[in-house]
């Protein structure tokens, strides 16, 4: 088998294996994935950076688990958020949904990194206050809007950098956790392996 084909098959296996390996503690848990790229920004940019994310959300237990890996940013990272909800699935822009100024503990000032964190969605600190205010002024309203955004493909994860303050790479979160073959080709072998290592370090 050609070396490139082996690498792509390994990348697909690792990413899908990571999603499958996450234990479903409750029937309401849903897994979402995204491949992050500059081409998916609005407007698109020419950054050669890439990233991947696996997200698990359980509205019943109010758990949001976010795993992200990224590399080759042209600028250094300044923030990372989930945005919700755009008017059209897979397109457009939306306000920041999660905490400001960035995910707590996200690696900043770097060109590459990995991140793994579990958020309690009953806490106001998990959310952008403006997102809560625009959805009935309650955390329950914010959770409901987020769940609908995930289900409709109108929520995305964005990594901002010094080179692209509005966002260098992003990807729309989708379920089931099967990325398109063209996106797998972008991923290469490294990113899913780093994602898996980040989760293991956090749990250790």
Q: Choose the weakest-confidence range: 20-34, 87-101, 115-129, 136-150.
A: 20-34
Residue 149's contacts (CB-CB under 8 Å, 6 or more residues apart) are 84, 85, 94, 97, 155
Q: Taking the complete model, does pTM exceed 0.85, yes or no?
A: no
Domain that holds residue 24: 3-203
pLDDT digits (tens, 9 = 90+) for 162-180: 999 999 999 999 986 455 4
Tally the domains of the chain: 1
Helices (H), the chain: 3-21, 129-133, 139-152, 181-187, 190-203
Q: Choose the weakest-confidence range: 20-24, 50-54, 131-135, 149-153.
A: 20-24
pLDDT of residue 97: 97
């Amino acid at each position: 088998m050609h070396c490139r084909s082996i690498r792509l098959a390994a990348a697909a296996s690792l990413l899908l294996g990571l999603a499958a390996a996450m234990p479903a503690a409750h029937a309401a848990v849903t897994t979402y994935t995204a491949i992050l790229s500059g081409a998916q920004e609005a407007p698109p940019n020419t950054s050669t950076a890439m990233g991947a994310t696996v997200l698990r959300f359980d509205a019943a237990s109010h758990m949001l688990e976010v795993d992200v890996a990224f590399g080759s940013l042209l600028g250094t990272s300044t923030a990372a958020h989930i945005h919700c909800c755009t008017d059209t699935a897979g397109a457009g822009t939306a306000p920041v949904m999660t905490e400001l100024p960035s995910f707590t503990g996200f690696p900043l000032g770097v060109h590459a990194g990995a991140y793994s964190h579990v958020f309690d969605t009953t806490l106001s600190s998990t959310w952008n206050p403006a997102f809560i205010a625009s959805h009935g002024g309650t955390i329950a309203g914010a959770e409901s809007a987020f769940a609908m955004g995930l289900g409709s493909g109108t929520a995305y994860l964005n990594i901002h950098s010094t080179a692209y303050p509005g966002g260098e790479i992003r990807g729309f979160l989708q379920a089931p956790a099967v990325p398109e073959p063209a996106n797998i080709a972008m991923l290469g072998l490294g990113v899913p392996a780093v994602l898996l290592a980040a989760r293991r370090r956090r749990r250790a």
